[in-house]
Amino acid sequence: MTINFHQIKNFVRHFFTAKRNGHGVHSPFAYQLCEEVFYNKNKFYYFEELNTIRNLLLTNETEITVEDFGAGSKTFNSNNRRINALAKNGISTNKQSEILFKLLNFLNCKSSIELGTSLGLNTLYLALANKYGEVKSIEGSKNLFDFATSLSEKNNIHNIKFIHSTFDKALPMLLTEINSLDFFYVDGNHTYEATITYFKQALTKKNNQSVFVFDDIYWSKEMTEAWRFIINHEEVTLSIDAFYFGFVFFRKEISSKTNLKFYI
Ligand SMILES: C[S@@+](CC[C@H](N)C(=O)[O-])C[C@H]1O[C@@H](n2cnc3c(N)ncnc32)[C@H](O)[C@@H]1O
């Protein structure tokens, strides 16, 4: 995996300046997030099962062809990928997926959208975090869409709707189908333009409790610029920069805009 100077510089800054627990955090909601999500060491019931699925993917040597979308990949330089290589370097880590699980579970998110399915393992975390909710996950690559669909079927997890399409085409359509969006996860097409466009589109369906998560906010200078645009948006009342991903909230009860950094 290629790491660039922008990432290293920002990682070092994050390492030395980010908080490592909720001490001294004034916002009661942000403090709760620290306790219940970011630094909550509890292992949830489904984690063992999901970890077993991850381990199986890590030993799967099947090769598939994946079309290139959006901003491309810094990890792979050909269109042929082994499932185990994708499971190792192309999807959310165990820790990241567990944080998203805890977040959805804590906030009781019912309506979720994920941009970028890949193997669909992270989607299983999102679905199991709230079995009464539904996750819609968009993937442009047909082979990945097929793989993720069969992974969820094999594991009997049915509260997911996988969509084979580009984000640009499918997101506006999906948003017309729902009344409100509780959880929005942007994990693909890492360009400034695209990230801002998806953010603005999703804003039309946000509610007071919604959370939007942006992956790879330090992937490139333009992604960091997109993140700055997002946290400065007038509707955002709380932002949390966790380096690997950034979280934004719109709660009106948070009366003055708060931007926090956590080392998770
Ligand atoms: C980083 S992976 C997603 C990982 C997954 N969300 C996780 O947490 O493990 C990004 C995926 O988004 C897909 N993708 C990127 N840009 C896209 C676009 N514009 N339309 C549809 N799919 C896209 C890629 O094919 C890739 O599978």
- Tens place of pLDDT for every residue, the chain, 264 residues? 578 999 999 999 999 999 999 999 999 999 999 999 999 999 999 999 999 999 999 999 999 999 877 666 656 666 899 999 999 999 999 999 999 999 999 999 999 999 999 999 999 999 999 999 999 999 999 999 999 999 999 999 999 999 999 999 999 999 999 999 999 999 999 999 999 999 999 999 999 999 999 999 999 999 999 999 999 999 999 999 999 999 999 999 999 999 999 999
Q: Give the Å distance between the CA of 55 and the centre of ligand 1.
A: 21
Q: Give the Å distance between the CA of 237 and the centre of ligand 1.
A: 28
Residues 256/239, Cβ–Cβ less than 8 Å:
no
Residues 6+ apart with CB under 8 A from 22: 30, 31, 33, 34, 35, 39
pLDDT on residue 76:
62
The pair of structure tokens assigned to 78 is 């050909």
The answer to pTM > 0.75 is: yes
* Residue of minimum CA distance from atom 13 in ligand 1: 116
Buried b (16+ CB within 10 A) or exposed e, 245-258: bbbbbbbeebeeeb
The pair of structure tokens assigned to 27 is 């916002």
pLDDT on residue 3:
85
Q: Give the Å distance between the CA of 137 and the centre of ligand 1.
A: 10
Pocket probe for ligand 1: among 89, 147, 189, the residue whose CB has the most ligand atoms within 8 Å is: 189
pLDDT on residue 195:
98
The pair of structure tokens assigned to 11 is 């990682």
* Residue of minimum CA distance from atom 17 in ligand 1: 69
Residues touching ligand 1 (Cβ under 6 Å) are: 69-70, 90-92, 114, 116, 118, 121-122, 138-141, 144, 166-167, 187-189
Ligand 1: nearest atom to the Cα of 90? 1
Q: Give the Å distance between the CA of 108 and the centre of ligand 1.
A: 25
Report DSSP letters for 31-84, one per residue.
HHHIIIIIT--PPPTTHHHHHHHHHHHHT---EEE----TT--SS-SSSEEEHH
pLDDT on residue 4:
92
5-261, CATH topology level: Rossmann fold (3.40.50)
